[in-house]
Structure 1
């Protein structure tokens, strides 16, 4: 069973964008492994709260302009 785990900043994607990600990534797995994996492909989108991630000693927050509107 293919398993795809995506971590994104909280509110970075709308529900429609998340649904599109799930469909697109599932189709990608099908293109590699064949149609038999479609019902068994798991796509998990985890949202990380602002300030809960960073790089090189810098803690990130998502700017308001980049927040999705549902």
Structure 2
């Protein structure tokens, strides 16, 4: 339960800094209230190798994911789609118990 409260505080601060705190629902995670209805916000959490995307490529990726959600859920989902890009530092990846590095992936 304490972990949930921490996650709620982090999410609230994220929304506040993004200027969208009015989208927060007090009753459900990643839901908003519009015209008296509670609907689920589309949410994509993309993890990418650190320092591999330019600001322009990040924008392109966010736009593409938002477009994909709008295609599936309809245009009504576009305004509430949240895309979070997390950059994972070199050595922060693992597959099958093996740590992956940029050198192993051929990017060094």
TM-score (norm 2): 0.55
Match of 1:10 among 27, 30, 50: 50
Matched, 1:53 2:88: no
CA contact (8 A) 1:7 1:48 kept: yes
Structure 2 segments unaligned to the other structure (5+ residues): 1-40
Conserved 8 A contact 1:12-1:62: no
Distance 2:74 2:97 in 1: 42
Aligned residues: 66
Larger radius of gyration between Structure 1 and Structure 2: 2
Contact 1:12 1:66 in 2 (8 A): no
Q: Is the 8 A contact 1:5 1:46 kept in 2?
A: yes
The runs of 4+ residues in structure 1 deviating greater than 3 Å are none
> In the aligned structure 2, how far is the partner of 1:29 from the partner of 1:55?
28
Residue deviations 1:24-56 (CA, integer Å, cap 9, x gap): 110111111111111100000001111111223
> C-alpha separation between the residues in 2 aligned to 1:9 and 1:29?
23
Q: Flag structure 1 segments of 5+ consecutive residues without an equivalent.
A: none
